[in-house]
Structure formats: C-alpha cells, structure tokens
Amino acid sequence: MKHLLLLSLLFSLGIVHTAPSNNETTISGWVYYDFLGIDDKLEQGRYAEVDADYLDLLDNSWSSRSFDHAVILKRYGFFLVSQDRVPEGLKHLQWSLRKKALEDRDAHNVKYVVAQISASLGKYEEALEYLLDWYKVGKKRRFDLTPKGIALIGICYAQLEDYRPAIKYISIATEQSYVFIKPWYELKFALHYRLDEFLLALETSQDLVRHAPKEKKYLEQMGAMYNQLKFEIESLSSLEFGYTQDLLKTEKDYLLLANFYMYKAVPNDAVKVLQAGFKRKKIKTNAKNLETMSNAYLASRENIKAANTLQEATKLSDDPELSYRLGQIELNLSRWDKAIDSFKLAQDKGWDKEKGKIEYFIGISFIELEDFNNAVKYLSISSELGQESMVEPWLQYIDYLQNTAS
C-alpha cells in the first residue's frame, strides 16, 4: 500500500471541515451534519457505509460553481486515497479544483496534494502543471511554499530529463530548507555534473561530505570533481600562496582550500586555513561553516574543540542532525551531562532516524552519572521503541550494581 505514505500530509491539508458560520464561503447546514455522520462512521471503521454516504451526497444536481460540491469532492478524494484507491481519489480531487469554488488557500493546498499524487503515479508532466501553478500563486499571494514542494518541481523536471529548470528548483529548495536533505543534494550534484558545471558539482559534493564525512561515495565524488577540474599542484599552489600572503578574497577560496586539505588527509592544514578565514572575517560565522570547522577539528583529533565548535553551530541551526552528532562527540569525551543535553535537543528538534537510539544514549549517560532511576527510565523507553537487544545487557548491569551496592 505504497500510496498510504502520502496520508499524513493529505489529511493535514484540508480534510477537516468547519461548522456553519456567517463567512462568505461555508458549507450548507445539512451538508455539515452529513459530514458529522460520515466522520463518526470513519472513526468506527465502517468504510463501506462512508463510501455509500459520499456517493449519495454526490448524486445531486449541483451547480457548476457549488462550494458544497467542491468540498464533498475534496473530502471524498482524500477518503479514496486513504483506502488505497489512489487513481479514483486523484480524479475526485482534480474535479474539486475544476469547480473553481474552493477558497483560494484551500485550493492552493489541494493543488500541492494532487501534484504529489500525480508524481507518485509517474505522471510527471501532469504533476508539473499543478506544481508550477502552486508555485506561481504561492509567490503572488504569499501562501506557504514548502521546500519539499519546490524540490518536487525539480525532481519532476529531472525525471523528464529537463535539467536546467530541474537544477533551478532543487537549488531553491536546498537554500530555503532549514534541514539538510541528502537526496536533494545528491540530485543537485548529479544535475550539475550532467550540465558540466563541475565547480558547482564540487561545491555540492563538499556539502555532502561535510554532512556525511564517513560516506565513501561522497568522498569519491568530491575526489572525482577535483580531478575533473584538475585541481592539483598548480591550483593548490596558487591558493596556498594567496592564503600565506593574506590574498584570498572570498569565502569560497578558503573553503575550497580547506576541503582540499581534508580530501588529501591533512586536516591540521585545513584547521589553520579555516581559523584564518574566520579571523580575517572572510568566512561567515554560520552553522554550515562552523560544522566544517568542527569536522576539521575531529579529523585532527581535537575533539574538545570539535565539540565546542559544533555546540555553536547548533545554536544557529534547527537541523537535529547537528545536535545528535554533538551528543555522540560528547559521549566520546565522557562529558555525560553535555551529551544528555545535546541528545535531548536533537530530540526536541525532531531527530527520528532510528527510533530508540537517542533514549539509549541518554540512558547510558545516566548510568555513567550513577543516576540509575533515569537510566532505567530512558533505557526502558529505548527497549519499547525496538532497541531491546542493545538495552537488555545494560538493564542487567544496573540490577547488578544496585544489588551489590546494597
């Protein structure tokens, strides 16, 4: 039931209805009460009856611009999608838009949902029609334009092998997103490479390495771009000379030289270049650049400086991955209180890559602090979330410690 992955978004975008009011666009009282009955049956799982009720509501002589009819079509479309009857649901959602009776913001949201469903069915040209209208209207009316929706425009263009607009929209999405979405950067890299934009491909590969420094494929991609650009002795010597003479003029120059040192496994030199860039106010103090500095410190085995720098980065970003990585560094430094704070912050920011993992690390930290009550609390949560095999030995260890202590 692959299309059910869309549901959490679909139902958040307009399946709720409101009671009759004095607003200009509102459903009729009798339709409202029919919806209440349908919702009650939905909660009870009486789906066949819900389907029949919607068909009864649609079997009426509705006017061409009926608001009631448009809302019924929209709700029925969402219901059909929830039952994995996606093509039927798509048809009714499109029909609701053709009525041109929905409120502007509601229609804007439904267009986005229709585009997502169309793309999931491989109808990329159809999806683009809705997405481009969604984007145009959103810009004009200042409606919400999520980076995910903008990225989907780029993805659809890429699927249609129209690479120039694809790179335009995927770049906008990466710039506007508050979190680092690896698949978007992977697509951005591939598009720049396909368009022979090797310097931009190099910069994108560096972004990927910065966020996933242990991923071999990203290191190989970055190396391939260095080789493609023939960024070897001559280019390196030029940048090194500029660095020693304080002649490097742009942030890009400092970052390029630092990343090249990292690629060549001389992180101490990367640290010196980055420190100079910050000191000379050529490199901006933002989360992205501080993370690069932290990675250089880590590679140089200056773990305390790495942690302190990454701590500053977490204050400037909502990316939960930064706080999670900081927690891991603090664990390695045996700074248990700081590890707990970092993991909790990652949790608050929405880190959810592996359920129970954060609770596991927090529990281990509490063991080291000899706070066994909190350790058991978090380890038990971790176990319930699927980490039983990792947690059980630690719970037994806590039992042993408490029994021998008494």
How many C-beta neighbours within 10 Å does residue 108 have?
20
More confident residue, 405 or 128: 128
Neighbours of 14 (CB within 10 A): 22
Domain of 28 in residue numbering reads as: 1-102
What's the mean per-residue pLDDT of the chain? 86
Distance CA 133, CA 142 (A): 13
Per-residue model confidence (pLDDT) at position 3: 39
Q: What is the pLDDT, as a whole number, of residue 221?
A: 87
How far apart CA 197 and CA 202 sit, in angstroms, is 9
Q: Tell me the three-class secondary structure of 83-141, residue by residue.
A: CCCHHHHHHHHHHHHHCCCCCHHHHHHHHHHHHHHHHHCCCHHHHHHHHHHHHHHHHHH
Residue 9: predicted pLDDT: 37
The pLDDT of residue 21 is above 70:
no
Share of the chain above pLDDT 90, in %: 54
DSSP symbol at 384: I
DSSP 354: S
Long-range pairs for 393-398: beta carbons < 8 A, 24 or more residues apart? 394/363, 394/364, 394/367, 397/367, 398/367, 398/372
* Confidence grade of residue 238 (pLDDT, cut at 50, 70, 90): low
Taking 70 as the threshold, does the pLDDT of residue 315 lie above it? yes
Q: Which of 189, 221, 194 is nearest to 204 (CA)?
A: 189
Higher pLDDT, 25 or 190: 190
State the Cα–Cα distance between residues 283 and 119, nearest whole angstrom: 40
How many domains is the chain built from?
2
Q: Is residue 273 part of a domain?
A: no
Nearest 5°: the CA angle 156, 160, 161 is 115
Q: How far is CA 33 from CA 26, 72, 261, in A?
A: 13, 13, 68
Question: Cα-flanking dihedrals φ and ψ of residue 109, to 5°?
Answer: -70, -40
For the stretch 240-277, pLDDT in tens is 656 656 667 788 888 888 888 887 778 898 999 899 89
Residue 50, C-beta contacts closer than 8 angstroms, at least 6 positions apart: 38, 41, 42, 79
Alpha-helical segments (H) within 250-387: 251-263, 267-279, 287-299, 303-315, 320-332, 336-348, 357-368, 372-382
Residue 19 pLDDT: 37
d(CA 173, CA 183): 12
Q: What is the rounded CA–CA span in Å between residue 112 and residue 141?
A: 15
Q: Is residue 84 part of a domain?
A: yes
Burial letters for 173-190: b for 16+ Cβ neighbours within 10 Å, e otherwise?
bbeebeebbeebbbbbbb
Q: Is the pLDDT of residue 43 over 50?
A: yes
54 part of a folded domain = yes
Choose one of 72, 102, 132: the last residue of a domain. Answer: 102
Q: Which of 12, 192, 42 is nearest to 116 (CA)?
A: 12
Give pLDDT, residue 405: 67
Q: Which of 33, 67, 102 is the last residue of a domain?
A: 102
Q: Is residue 348 part of a domain?
A: no
Q: What is the pLDDT of residue 343?
A: 95
Domain assignment of residue 11, yes or no: yes
Average pLDDT, stretch 287-314? Answer: 93
The last residue of a domain, from among 49, 80, 102? 102
Give, in order, the Cα–Cα distances in Å from 221 to each of 204, 224, 230, 233, 265.
10, 5, 14, 19, 16
Q: Is residue 312 part of a domain?
A: no
End-to-end CA distance of the chain: 54
Q: Rounded mean pLDDT of 40-69?
A: 89
Segment of 10-24, 54-68, 73-87 carrying the highest mean pLDDT: 73-87
Confidence class of residue 7 from pLDDT cuts 50, 70 and 90? very low
Query: Does residue 226 lie within any of the structural domains?
Result: no
Give the DSSP H or E segment for 356.
Answer: none
Residue 176 has pLDDT above 60, yes or no: yes
Scanning 26-65, the segments in alpha helix (DSSP H) are: 29-43, 47-58
Q: Say what the pLDDT of residue 51 is.
A: 92
Q: How would DSSP label each residue in 199-237?
A: HHHHHHHHHHHHH-TT-HHHHHHHHHHHHHTT-SHHHHH
In a domain, 304, yes or no: no
